[in-house]
Chain A
Amino acid sequence: MSLEPAATDRGMWRVVASRDFWVRLHDKGFVISTAITLTVLTVFILIRAYGGGPDSFTLGVVGNDELGRRVAALGDRSGLDVTVVRLDDEGAADRALRDGEVDGVVLGDVDQGTASLRVLRDPPDLLDQLVQGAAIGLRLDTVLDEADVPEATIEELNDRHPVTTSRIERPDPDRDAKAAVAFAIVLIMYGQLFGYGVWVATGVIEEKSSRVVEILLSAIRARQLMAGKILGIGALGLLQLLLIAAFAVTLANVTGAIDLPADSLSAAAITLGWFILGFAFYASTFAVAGALVSRMEELQNAIVPINLLVFASFFLSISAVQDPDSTMAVVASLLPISSALAMPVRMVLGAATPWEIALSLAIIIGCTVLLIPLAGRVYAGAILRTGSKVRIRDAWRAAE
């Protein structure tokens, strides 16, 4: 049994990181936050897969077979799925409406001007439009037929699009799906960066308020302790994000909510990569916030400035989902405080140019490399000072 110490404490961050990782992996908070994220994500994906508003209707017809056929045909052209059900009389129609078996029933006769759409309470807008459109078509046909317009001309009028569409730019048929992915990424990234950042801060306060830090620092240096804590908690955050991403990609592709296997994999990779960068940037500031105060109750105040920055980044990034090419979105994707949220959005939407990505990477990595030693010094100067909140300037001076 060797109790001889290694020559320095240089690798000691690994021991610290390992403790911070395992202790929190077994923490209820980790299980709960994972469960909540996965639940929200499942709902989000399932709504996209099977919800998305009533784009399918069941229409009852009493008589009126031809109108029913035309409503179905018109719906088909508009991407709406209309099922037509034949009903015997008005009584059967009302029963079907009350039982929710049909969304609406067409009664009466179009040519005699007695046609009506009967619904339970509010007519679904799209169904109303379809029925009105189909009825106009039916009535026109009758009129044209009576005026001896040739059958071929009537068919041509019914089947052709009289107006064609031309575009300046090629449309992205997946724009909608990609926006949904980008939106989900902003939500998850915000929760992950902020949640794990706060975990760093509370981990620091736990050691400070319990005074165990005095024993830790008699064995290793403050910077090793801070580095270990950030890396251990960051590794757990990355693991959780990996679980979430794997779950989301699988569920989205299985349910067909987002039918882009390759794109969803690259979106997951982008998210993981930017989480590492964003966490590396923010974590040391959270560690400093924790070191400046002595009790958990004081943490809320200490993290207000960081909280505001992360929150502002969140809003900028949400608006970047809508308009990824706006100046604000471009700036947000370059600033280190917001790039971890905004750049993945612009990358997933295909709006970021290679040089913008490169510049953004250079800025956040450069700033992180500059920030960590400064934060390490303030942390080292503040971590052993209990009592009232330590001022950053005093902490800076206290550390060599």
Chain B
Amino acid sequence: MPPGLELIDLRRRFGDVVALDGVSLRVDEGTVVGFVGPNGAGKTTAMRIALGVLAADAGEVRWRGRPVDGPARRRFGYIPEERGLYPKMRVLDQLVYLARLHGVGRAAAQARGQEILDALGFADRARDRVENLSLGNQQRVQLAAALVHQPDVLVLDEPFSGLDPVGTDVLVEMLDRERRERGVPIVFSSHQLELVERICDRVAMILDGRIVADGTIDELRASRERQLLRVEVSGDADGWFESIPGVRLAESVPDGVVLELEDGTDHQRVLDLARSVGEVRHFSMVRPTLSQLFREVVSS
């Protein structure tokens, strides 16, 4: 995979607060990276530095292996956390203007603006002023603004927040198309971890200004060296598993338990014991969701 966007050892302080403490992140061409972490962990700061609207105290942003300069940066597409459009400007005028600021010629900008509105099913609102649109529709214009100049890379800060399920599907589809058809590397931050798990190739987890986990979901799962078993046994037999060494209760679930097994503990011993207690209705390895991994990382 050729390197697309790379953040290398970014550091940034605001007064006494360390916002970024050596953040490195790589978004290869044609991949979607989810950027997750609790509020205040440094996601927005890292993305603003990537876009050049904030300066880093140290570190570097590279694009295709070279330090990012003005012309390269104008090929970036960006949705900032706090959003931002001219409230009184008409939708199409706004898109054309933003395309032109990104270096697109006048005629091409006009055509692209129309095209992106068509693609978003939004052409009938082209003459509306942004302030007269619903928040969800403003969000769509915001996405169009990020895509109108056919960017080489997309950096999206919380692009899904405020979207209804339909809007979410539209955005997912748009991102997928950008990636598939043009190989655009995409990094976006989100708190909707199921969504991240569904559409991202890789996930980077940030905590207190440091990247604490970075990889595919499977890699992240593997890195949390744990085995979880979900067992449902009929009959009232609380604590039936306690006699097996290396097994402890991870979580009680309806009709059963999730057990955490230490390395080297034999599943079959657990199964045998369960069968001796009652009828085993369910017995499976549990794959931790991204949410569970996230909670574990944050709490550890």
A residues sitting closer than 8 Å to B (CB atoms) are: 1-9, 12, 15-16, 19, 23, 206-207, 210-221, 384, 400
Contact = CB atoms under 8 A, between A and B. Distances in A.
Interface of B: 48, 51-55, 70-71, 73-76, 78, 80, 82-87, 89, 97-98, 100-105, 107-108, 111-112, 145, 149-150
Given A7-B71, A23-B89, A2 B105 contact: yes
Contacts of A206: 86-87
Contacts of B83: 211
22 contacts: A1-B107, A3-B150, A5-B71, A5-B102, A7-B71, A8-B70, A8-B71, A9-B70, A16-B101, A206-B86, A207-B86, A210-B86, A212-B84, A213-B84, A214-B80, A215-B85, A215-B98, A215-B145, A218-B52, A218-B53, A218-B78, A220-B74
Contacts of A16: 101
A294 to B, nearest CB: 12
A23 B101 CA distance: 16
A136 B104 CA distance: 87
Contacts of A2: 105, 108
Residue of B53, B74, B82, B103 with most partner-chain A CB within 10 A:
B103
Contacts of B78: 214-215, 218
B53 A219 contact: no
Contacts of A220: 74, 101
A213 B80 CA distance: 10
Contacts, number: 84
A21 to B, nearest CB: 12
Nearest to A7: B71
Contacts of B97: 15, 19
A220 B53 CA distance: 10
Contacts of A1: 107-108, 111-112
Contact of B100 (A15, A211, A218): A15
Contacts of A6: 71, 103
A3 B104 contact: yes
Contact of A212 (B76, B86, B111): B86
A351 to B, nearest CB: 46
- What 8 A-B pairs come out closest when comparing CB atoms? A5-B103, A211-B84, A212-B84, A218-B51, A219-B101, A214-B80, A211-B82, A1-B108
B101 A210 contact: no
A185 to B, nearest CB: 33
Nearest to A19: B97
Contacts of B80: 211, 214-215, 218
A156 B204 CA distance: 112
B288 to A, nearest CB: 36
Residue of A6, A211, A214, A215 with most partner-chain B CB within 10 A:
A215
A214 B70 contact: no
A1 B51 CA distance: 26
Contacts of B105: 2
Contact of A400 (B55, B86, B87): B55
A210 B74 contact: no
Given A3-B112, A5-B75, 9 more contacts: A3-B149, A6-B71, A9-B74, A19-B97, A215-B85, A215-B98, A218-B51, A218-B78, A219-B102
